[in-house]
Amino acid sequence: MTRPLLVPEPHRAPSLPADSGQDTLARAIWAHGHGRGVRAMEALAAMALNARHGQPGRSLVQVVRDPMLFAAWGPDDPRHGPMLAVDGGDLSFAAAHRIARRAIAGLDLIVAGANRFLDDADPVPAWAVGLTPVAVLAGFSFYRV
């Protein structure tokens, strides 16, 4: 069975306040996954929502903007500036907005249970030592911590 092809329309990303959960999530998954395809961004979105589920009382914006979850929210991260500057004219950012909207609505959550991720190109941090990923996709390993 094949999934329908997601073809983003340029300039169609909604104009949302910078502190909206959808925009915050879209920027984070775009910053970390846009070069790795739609499935990677979907997996990152699912992981972010799983992380929020494990932190009652914190909003999606608070969880996603934690640089311990998405390093791009750290001001020294090289993805930080491009993440804040990207707009709906970027096709992959338009796709990230669609993915964020669907994930928030509870659709297409493909990494069940994972609440942390690791870019396989990065050194293994202390929190991941000895853990087995629950999923590996597009150069990311997803963990339940």
The count of structural domains within the chain is: 1
Sign of the dihedral through C-alpha 81, 82, 83, 86: positive
Q: Is residue 16 part of a domain?
A: no
Is the model's pLDDT at 75 over the cut of 90? yes
pLDDT band for 56, please (50, 70, 90 cuts).
confident
56 in a structural domain = yes
- In this prediction, residue 109 carries a pLDDT of 61
- Let me know if residue 48 belongs to a domain: yes
Q: Which domain holds residue 76?
A: 21-112
Query: What is residue 111's predicted lDDT score, i.e. its pLDDT?
Result: 61
| Predicted local distance difference test score (pLDDT) of residue 110 | 62
pLDDT (average), residues 118-136: 81
Evaluate whether residue 121 is within a structural domain: no
Dihedral (CA of 131, 120, 2, 49) sign? positive
pLDDT digits (tens, 9 = 90+) for 109-125: 666 666 777 777 778 88
